[in-house]
Structure 1
Amino acid sequence: MFTVDSISIRYEQKSVIRDFSFSVNQGEVVSIIGPNGSGKSTLLKGISRNVPFHSGQVELEGTNIKSLSSKQVARKMCMLSQKNQAPSDMTVIDLVSYGRYPHKKWFEKLNQEDMDIVHWALEKTHLTSHKDRTVSSMSGGESQRAWIAMALAQRPKILLLDEPTTYLDISHQYEVLELVRELNQETGMTVLMVLHDLNHAASYSDNIIVVQAGEKAMSGKPNEVMTTDMIRRIYRMDSEIQYVATEKKPRIHLLSTAR
């Protein structure tokens, strides 16, 4: 689906991401984890072309992403940041409709096919009954679903999510991640997301990439990556790992700061 090949990203003279490589297959859910300041969000922004990379390349379906126009990238890939804001009077359906504009010429209006896709996105995110509400009047979880609906209306093959559960309480975190899983399973959309919660990453990911100080520390399936050694080395925490036979995914119990 896409390949990141030895990319490096600098802010002024500071190196933030160094010689980073990985690939994501179609239909996978991949999570990027690591301590604060390790470069996770910068890596995602580089992949989406929101920040330039100093060296290396990203290939999207075999094509160097630098050779694609912004519209061509937007038809294939959509990124949602940690916190998104809409004008105070914007309704949910108006927001979701913006997802269709990468598929239109600048003078074209939305047609019936576009609106059918908008309503499909609202239905998939369980927002049909909220379509006329303003985004600003919604709860954090509802608002995040509205932005995901806009991304769905864009019909991307790849969805990039930068800490999608930040600022949300526990129930809304669960709601958003369950929605991501549902969309992945029903539509086959590839998902790459930055997560802080290790148990969320273990539960919702096919593969996990660990970032430390701008470099790839390790990657693999949740049961390969989520080890007491990794957590001690990367997070400086002692932990216990529990496996539940019915889930086949590890559960992480943090114990104390490692000495």
Structure 2
Amino acid sequence: MFTVDSISIKYEQKSIINNFSFSAKQGEIVSIIGPNGSGKSTILKALSRLIPYHTGSVVLEGTDLKSMSAKQVARKMCMLSQKNQAPSDMTVIDLVSYGRYPHKKWFERLDNEDMEIVHWALEKTHLTTYKDRPIVSLSGGESQRAWIAMALAQRPKVLLLDEPTTYLDISHQHEVLELVRELNQDMGMTVVMVLHDLNQASCYSDSIVVVQGGEKAMHGTPNQVMTTDMIRKVYRMDSEIQYIPTEKKPRIHLLSTVK
């Protein structure tokens, strides 16, 4: 479905990401975790072609990303950044409608089919009653849902999320991640997201990629990755890992910084 093979990324001749590889299966949620400055968001930007990668390849549904036009990529993949901004007078439905433009010709108007998809995206993200409200009037969680609705309107096969819970309080973090899981399960959408919170990554991911110093340190299921040894080596923290049979995913309790 989505394969990243040995990519390397440089900024002004300085190596940021080295020989990085991972793959995501159809309908899988993959979280990328690691300390600040490890290169997590840089990887996501390269996967979405916001920045170039210098060596290696990214293959989406059997096609090399570099051989695809921007419109072809937008039809199959959508990325949402940490913080997204819309014009002050833009309404929710206006924003969501932008998701249809990768499927239209230059200057082609949205038709009835497009608007049906827009309203479907609003319904899926529980925003139908908010459709005429300005984006700036929404709460953090509501605003994030609106941007996800725009992404849904694109009908992408892959959704890339760069720290989708940043700037949100705990209840809105939960709301957004539950929505991501709901869309993944209902639509079979592949999700690759960067997360800071280890317990969120453990709870909501099918697999986790650990990045350290611009390189892949580990890749596996939450049970394989979330170990006291990994947390000590990568985050320099002592921890306890709790396994609750009813949850099936490990719960991490951070204790103290390694001296």
Q: Which residue of 1 aligns with 2:257?
A: 257
- Cα distance, 1:13 vs. partner? 1.4
- Determine helix, strand or coil for the equivalent of 2:105: coil
Q: Which residue of 2 aligns with 1:15?
A: 15
Q: In angstroms, what is the RMSD of aligned CA positions?
A: 0.4
Give unmatched runs, 5+ long, in structure 1.
Answer: none
Q: How does 1:147-166 map to 2 (within 5 A)?
A: 147-166=147-166
Q: Which residue of 1 aligns with 2:114?
A: 114
Q: Which residue of 2 aligns with 1:86?
A: 86
Q: Deviations over 1:162-200 (max 9, x none)?
A: 000000000000000000000000010000000000000
Return the alpha-carbon distance in structure 2 between the equivalents of residues 21 and 184 of structure 1. Answer: 23
Return the alpha-carbon distance in structure 2 between the equivalents of residues 173 and 9 of structure 1. Answer: 30
TM-score by length of 1: 1.00
Q: Which residue of 2 aligns with 1:208?
A: 208
Return the alpha-carbon distance in structure 2 between the equivalents of residues 235 and 107 of structure 1. Answer: 50
Q: Which residue of 1 aligns with 2:248?
A: 248
Moved segments of 4+, more than 3 Å: none
| Percent identity over paired residues | 81
Q: Which residue of 2 aligns with 1:138?
A: 138
TM-score by length of 2: 1.00
- Determine helix, strand or coil for the equivalent of 2:53: coil
Return the alpha-carbon distance in structure 1 between the equivalents of residues 191 and 159 of structure 2. Answer: 5
Q: Deviations over 1:59-114 (max 9, x none)?
A: 11111100000000000000000000000000000000000000000121000000
Give unmatched runs, 5+ long, in structure 2.
Answer: none
- Determine helix, strand or coil for the equivalent of 2:238: strand
- Equivalent pairs counted in the alignment come to 259
- Determine helix, strand or coil for the equivalent of 2:83: coil
User: 1:100 and 2:100 equivalent?
Assistant: yes
- Determine helix, strand or coil for the equivalent of 2:120: helix
- Determine helix, strand or coil for the equivalent of 1:211: strand
Q: Which residue of 2 aligns with 1:227?
A: 227
- Cα distance, 1:158 vs. partner? 0.2
Return the alpha-carbon distance in structure 2 between the equivalents of residues 107 and 142 of structure 1. Answer: 30
Return the alpha-carbon distance in structure 2 between the equivalents of residues 232 and 28 of structure 1. Answer: 27
Q: How does 1:29-48 map to 2 (within 5 A)?
A: 29-48=29-48
Q: Which residue of 1 aligns with 2:66?
A: 66
